[in-house]
Amino acid sequence: MSKPETKPLAQIRNFAIIAHIDHGKSTLADRLIQTCGGLEEREMSEQVLDNTDIERERGITIKAQTVRLAYTAKDGIEYQFNLMDTPGHVDFSYEVSRSLASCEGSLLVVDASQGVEAQTLANVYQALDNDHEIVPVINKIDLPAADPEKVKAEVEDVIGLDCSDAIEASAKTGAGIEELLEKIVTILPPPKEGDADAPTKALLVDSWYDAYLGVVVLVRVIDGYLRKDQKIQFMSNKAVRIIDRVGMFTPKKVELDALGPGEMGFITASIKDISETNVGDTITDEKKPCESALPGFKPSIPMVFCSLYPADAGDFEKLRDSLGKIRLNDASMHYEMESSQALGLGFRCGFLGLLHMEIIQERLEREFDLDLIPTAPSVVYKVNLTNGEQIELYNPVDLPDVVKIESIEEPWIKATILVPDEYLGGLLQLCQDRRGVQIDLTYAGGRAMLVYRLPLNEVVFDFYDRLKSISKGYASFDYELDGYGENDLVKLEIRVNEEPVDALAMIVHRSNAESRGRGMCERLKDLIPRQMFKIAIQAAIGGKIIARENVSALRKDVTAKCYGGDITRKKKLLEKQKKGKAKMRQYGNVEIPQSAFIAALKMGDE
Amino acid sequence: MNNKGRLGLYIHWPFCLSKCPYCDFNVHVRSAIDYGRWQDAYLKSLDYYATIMPERLLGSIYFGGGTPSTMPPELVGAIIDKARSIWPCSNDVEITLEANPTSIEMEKFEAFKAVGVNRVSIGVQALNDKDLKFLGRAHSADEALKAIDIAKGVFEKFSFDLIYARPDQTLEEWRTELEQAKQLAGGHLSLYQLTIERNTPFYYSHQQDIFSLPNEDLAADFYGLTQDVLDDALPAYEVSNHAAEGHESQHNLNYWYNGEYVGIGPGAHGRIWQDGVKCATRDHHAPDAWLERVEGQGHGAHPYQQLGQDDLAMEALMMGLRLREGLSLKHLAEQSGGDWAAYIDEAKLKTVINEGWAVQKEEALTLTREGLLRLNAILPYILTTEGPHRKTAR
Ligand SMILES: Nc1nc2c(ncn2[C@@H]2O[C@H](COP(=O)(O)OP(=O)(O)O)[C@@H](O)[C@H]2O)c(=O)[nH]1
Ligand SMILES: C[S@@+](CC[C@H](N)C(=O)[O-])C[C@H]1O[C@@H](n2cnc3c(N)ncnc32)[C@H](O)[C@@H]1O
Ligand code: SF4
Ligand SMILES: [Mg+2]
């Protein structure tokens, strides 16, 4: 077979754009695409790489994106750039690490008016772990508040990155973009290895489901070629497929004959289900396989769990289908059917983090038009039983009887918070209240850098919102998981007329149990409408009642006037009430509308 | 005490001289009304019902509103004559007209009597001027007393309405007012707790906390006090209606017994039997559209809706349980096609009985005073979630 014509390694640059959220990654990518002529002026929309509505609306990139650009440098040579825009949020740091593994360099975008933030740090460290060459880009120099010199000093100071080659740019006005393109050629390295004659070896960077093409696989070729009609094998599961399309994004989808060493692009191979395509897998030739697989990635593990119930029980099947469709594109989301006495049939779902959870709930509601009842988010506990066994607890309801429990371990995180001095006190208090353990407190460029160990459980509630409100939005936050630790954890149970409400059960630290329990009882008291019988609401730990409230019995509810003209209207109301009873749950002799529990769950923690 | 099996005729007159801020009836204020045109329309509608509902015995006619006492007596008379010419009726036919106690209207009482009205229901609402003003009424307490006095002299039967449980009203004030009403009453009183209806001026001022109503406990006490004061002479035969033996409103009882009635006029509802199926009728709501419809098609009704056994059983429960005599279980069985147990959860009914809210005797299910107070909660509680859901009755 003749060798396809692909770029020599020396003319390829694969790089990622990394930054704290909103520092301008996507806008910079737009500018690079535009300058290299990837899209005509009229085709440019803002943040062309953010594909989904939610990405555009929230201004966040969720999926890593790649584009190939052709750039003719001052040396007269045309280079091939493969650019990746990466997600900026902690929840998706796993996607970031994957993207970084397929490149040799990074553009580190730092907002010239904001400076280094928590995710700047987290991303830089990941890039350095992947041996990246890094070009700092001090962006948004057009802003009046921009102070590029100060920010450069901060980058040198806090990160320890040499800024003599840093570029001052504005992704908005285009200032500095020419210079940046040259620096990409001169400073970032070409792919290190790559043997055109060796057996095919390619990294599976990502995959997603496309309604027309089936599963689209994003690849980075190491050795050899990927060509149309080639029979390939996925090394992890030995699956064999025939490539039916090879191509690249410019960002338009363009088909090619082949992808060669060092190049990035996509293939399709009549794959129906993304679960067949394991991210980090090695793709090779079926007949002439390579000797060893690439090191691959750790699989992503869901850290935050919550249950999702359809508000209308009739939507259960629709919810199941919708979760299935989302999972087609997002293998990091897990779900399993469960049933709750209070809320009916639903799913226990696992997410990478809180934002991931929110985004999926939003997609279910918007794209799939579902009305959902989410339960309070929870984490995965490890429960050591007296018989020596250890179980993983995904739902507080499943906690075994206290007498069978030796101890409970909860996941911890190491959090890095950057915050202007004036808000430091408030944040220290917040971390303290959330059972945090201080590890480090340093100053850099007028800001404090706080490192804390915190139980993840305390963060999943509303830590991020509190952090933002205490610091008026100026604090930034990032975290990594930091093992499990034993603690004095208890199951807080809410009972209505002596019967536990499963959806409201939670695991809390003993020191917080009473205030949480009292808060929940008070909330329910306001939410449960008066009924013919008195309703007792209690919070309990083990068998012990720690808080109680009563909803007193209704004394009068009768329509004063009911004549011939009123019958139809009143009957409709009664029919509605009668139907509504299907959504009621029986607790002792009272029926509580599901909506009361939903509201209690929605009111959050405060 | 009843007229069972006879037809009721409801005539809706949709006009008032001014609109009261609590009222959500289908009411319009007009400076000029073409009475001739309205008369033609009512009579034409009656002709229509004459053709589809022959062979009925007329038990009652009720002129409601709106303010029917603003109708010219000749118009009232023409309608009565027409109805009587269509349906035979006995000597005891009850012909009620709602009246507002302003001077112009009470002067017409004799004339109404002359054209056949034999009962008036006067909208007194309160017996003191301060509360009348709050309620936005166009008459004074003195005028109301005078109207009652005239009605007493003119009609063999009359009733008046009061609205109580008003903002800031105390139990003692109400007791005094009620004692006075008891003295003034003929054989019948309608006593309604003030209800805030959606989209009325009161609805908005209540939402803005401009005034507040007695809370639930006090409202229950108001109701209890009302029963205590009237139980000996004018006991409640329905949630809000009190009468001396033999003075119950025949027309309204027919609603609570799920009887047959024709409703004519803007927004009027009816329940009529057609080809062995009970149907709900509803006249067009807007006065002018109603007139045009009648002139065009001979009647002002939307297409009928056939009622299924589920509907009939529900209506029987909703209406029958409002009565002191309770709901006849035989009647419920007829309406529900025999298996009324399919509509009522027996265990729940037992709970309700044990709580002292209801009594079940062989022939009737009756709510106690405490039960009546909770009717809106008891109904959905005892209803089963799954009825048999039959499409139409036999
Ligand atoms: N003034 C100014 N605004 C910019 C510049 N670059 C990006 N922005 C704005 O900053 C916001 C965040 O940009 P985006 O590219 O979405 O950031 P990302 O979250 O890092 O992808 C958007 O409102 C951009 O329009 C710049 O150079 N100057
Ligand atoms: C059709 S209305 C009015 C009859 C007549 N137009 C009048 O105002 O006297 C019949 C009765 O319903 C009662 N009513 C109307 N709206 C009410 C409300 N919002 N709350 C309590 N009673 C009400 C009044 O007592 C009124 O007399
Ligand atoms: S209460 Fe009577 S007078 Fe007042 S608006 Fe209603 S119908 Fe008319
Ligand atoms: Mg972005």
Phi, psi of A493 (to 5 degrees): -115, 140
Cα–ligand 4 centroid distance for A65 (angstroms): 10
Tell me whether residue B209 is exposed, middle or buried, using C-beta atoms within 10 angstroms of its C-beta: 0 to 12, 13 to 18, 19 or more: exposed
Which whole number is the average pLDDT over A58-74? Answer: 74
| pLDDT score at A606 | 39
- Given CB atoms, is B252 within the 8 Å cutoff of chain A? yes
Token pair recorded at residue A105:
């360099």
Task: State yes or no: pLDDT of B43 exceeds 60.
Answer: yes
pLDDT reading at A446 higher than 80? no
Is the pLDDT assigned to residue A225 strictly greater than 70? yes
* CA separation for the pair B238, B231 (Å, rounded): 12
User: Quick check: A553 contacting B, CB < 8 Å?
Assistant: no
Cα B183 to Cα B152: distance, rounded to the nearest angstrom: 12
Q: Are B258 and B319 in contact (CB under 8 A)?
A: yes
Residue B65 CA, closest ligand 3 atom number:
7
Give the up-direction half-sphere exposure of residue B64: CA atoms within 13 A in the CB hemisphere: 20
**CA-closest residue to ligand 2 atom 21:** B194
Q: Is the pLDDT of residue B245 over 80?
A: yes
Helix (H, G, I), strand (E, B) or coil at A289: coil
Q: Whole-angstrom Cα distance, residue A31 to residue A17?
A: 13
CB contact under 8 A, B385 and A557: no
Helix (H) or strand (E) holding A241: strand A240-242
- A256-268 pLDDT per residue, tens: 999 999 999 999 9
Please state the rounded mean pLDDT for residues B374-387. 86
Tell me the pLDDT band of B95, cut-offs 50, 70 and 90. very high
Characterize the bridge pairing of strands B89-99 and B58-65: parallel
Each residue of A122-142: pLDDT tens digit?
Answer: 788 888 888 999 999 999 999
Retrieve residue A469's tokens: 């409100």
Q: How far apart are CA A366 and CA B302, in angstroms?
A: 39
Flag whether pLDDT at A605 surpasses 50: no
Confidence of residue A89 (pLDDT cuts 50, 70, 90): low
Give residue B394's pLDDT band: very low, low, confident or very high (50, 70, 90): very low
A492 CA to centre of ligand 4 in angstroms: 40
Note the pLDDT of residue A471: 86
By alpha-carbon position, which residue is closest to atom 7 of ligand 3?
B66
Query: What is the DSSP track for B196-265?
Result: --TTSHHHHHHHTTSS----HHHHHHHHHHHHHHHTTTS-EEETTEEE-TT-S-HHHHHHHTT--EEEES
List Cα–Cα distances, A379 to A112, A354, A468, in angstroms: 37, 11, 22
pLDDT of the residue at A64: 57
Tokens of A511: 């020191």
Counts of helices then strands in chain B (DSSP H, E): 16, 15
- Determine how β-strand A506-509 pairs with β-strand A476-487: unpaired
Q: Which residue has the tokens 């980058």?
A: A155
Residue A454 has pLDDT above 90, yes or no: yes
- Dist CA A496 CA A567 (whole Å): 35
Q: Kindly give the distance from the C-alpha atom of residue B22 to the centroid of ligand 2, in angstroms, as a whole number.
A: 8
For A251, residues 6+ apart whose C-beta sits below 8 A from its C-beta are: A33, A38, A39, A48, A49, A65, A67
Residues β-bridged to residue A310: A372
Cis preceding linkage at B54, omega within 30: no
pLDDT tens digits for A459-476? 876 787 788 888 887 788
pLDDT confidence bin for A377, thresholds 50/70/90: confident
Say what the pLDDT of residue A276 is. 83
Mean pLDDT of all residues in A219-231 = 95
User: How high is the pLDDT of residue A66?
Assistant: 83
Q: At what angle do helices B216-230 and B171-184 cross, to 10 degrees?
A: 30
In the predicted model, is pLDDT for residue A62 greater than 70? Answer: no
Mean pLDDT over each residue of chain B, to the nearest integer: 93
Whether the CA torsion B354, B360, B366, B369 is positive or negative: it is: negative
Q: For residue A298, what pLDDT is reported?
A: 66
* Cβ–Cβ under 8 Å, residues B10 and A564: yes
Cβ-proximal residues to A108 (8 Å cutoff; 6+ apart), any chain: A18, A19, A120, A123, A124, A127, A134, A135, A136, A137, A155, A161
Indicate yes or no: CB of B351 within 8 angstroms of CB of A530.
no
**How many CB atoms are closer than 10 A to CB A279?**
22
Encoding tokens for residue A110?
């730092």
Beta carbons within 8 Å of B376's beta carbon, 6+ residues apart: A557, A558, A559
Please report, for residues B67, B76, B108, B155, the alpha-carbon distance to residue B111 in angstroms, rounded to integers and kept in the order given. Answer: 16, 10, 5, 11
CB proximity list for A366: less than 8 A, separation 6 or greater = A53, A54
Q: What percent of chain A has pLDDT over 90?
A: 45
Determine the residue of B161, B196, B252 to mutate for testing ligand 2's pocket, defined as the one with the most ligand atoms within 8 A of the Cβ atom. Answer: B161
Secondary structure element (H or E) that encloses residue B377, with its range: helix B375-382
Can you give the pLDDT at residue A488? 92
Distance (Å, whole) CA A27 – CA B49: 75
DSSP secondary structure letters along B151-163: HHHH-SEEEEEEE
pLDDT at position A56 over 70: no
CB atoms near residue A342 (< 10 Å): 24
Could you tell me the pLDDT band of residue B18, with boundaries at 50, 70 and 90? Answer: very high
Q: Given an 8 Å threshold on Cβ–Cβ distance, is B216 in contact with A581?
A: no
**Which range, of A203-212, B112-121, B370-379, averages the lowest pLDDT?**
A203-212
- A572 and chain B: CB distance < 8 Å anywhere? no
Question: Is 70 exceeded by the pLDDT of residue A490?
Answer: yes
Is A520:A504 a contact under the CB 8 Å cutoff? yes
| Cβ contacts of B23 within 8 Å, gap of 6 or more | B197, B200
Tens digit of each residue's pLDDT (9 = 90 or more) over B257-303? 999 999 999 999 999 999 989 999 999 999 999 999 999 999 999 99
Question: Taking Cα atoms as reference points, which of A65, A203, A204, A188 lies closest to residue A137?
Answer: A188
For B138-186, what is each residue's pLDDT tens digit? 999 999 999 999 999 999 999 999 999 999 999 999 999 999 999 999 9
**Which residue among B271, B319, B374 sits closest to A556, beta carbon to beta carbon?**
B374
Rounded to an integer, the average pLDDT of A390-394 is 90
pLDDT at B1 over 50: no
Specify the pLDDT at position A354. 74
Taking the CA of residue B249 and the nearest CA in chain A, the distance in Å comes to 12
Residue B125 backbone zone (phi > 0: left; psi -120 to 50: alpha; other: beta): left
Substitution target in B193, B376, B384, B389 with the highest count of A β-carbons within 10 Å is: B376
Q: What share of chain A is helix, strand, coil (3-state, %, to 5)?
A: 30, 35, 35
Instruction: Check residue A399 and report its DSSP letter.
Output: P
pLDDT recorded at residue A38 = 62
State the pTM of this model: 0.64
For residue A78, what pLDDT band results from cuts at 50, 70 and 90? very high
Could you give the C-alpha distances from A437 to A20, A452, A482, B17, B255, in angstroms and in order?
25, 6, 12, 76, 73
Most confident of A14-28, A119-133, A296-310, B332-346: A14-28
Packing angle of the helix pair A25-35, A177-187 (nearest 10 deg): 90
Q: Answer yes or no: is pLDDT of A68 > 60.
A: yes
Q: Which residue has the least CA distance to atom 12 on ligand 1?
A: A22
* pLDDT at res. A92: 66
Q: Where does ligand 2 bind, in terms of residues with CB under 6 Å?
A: A 560-561; B 22-23, 25, 64-65, 67, 98, 100, 123, 125, 161, 163, 192, 194-195, 197
Look at residue B392 in the predicted model and tell me its pLDDT. 43
Residue-wise burial string across A566-594, b where 16 or more C-beta atoms lie within 10 A, e elsewhere? ebbebbeebbebbeebebbbebebbbbbb
In chain A, the largest separation of any two C-alpha atoms, in whole Å, equals 93
Query: Which residue would you say has higher pLDDT here, B253 or A598?
Result: B253
Query: What mean pLDDT is reported for chain A?
Result: 86
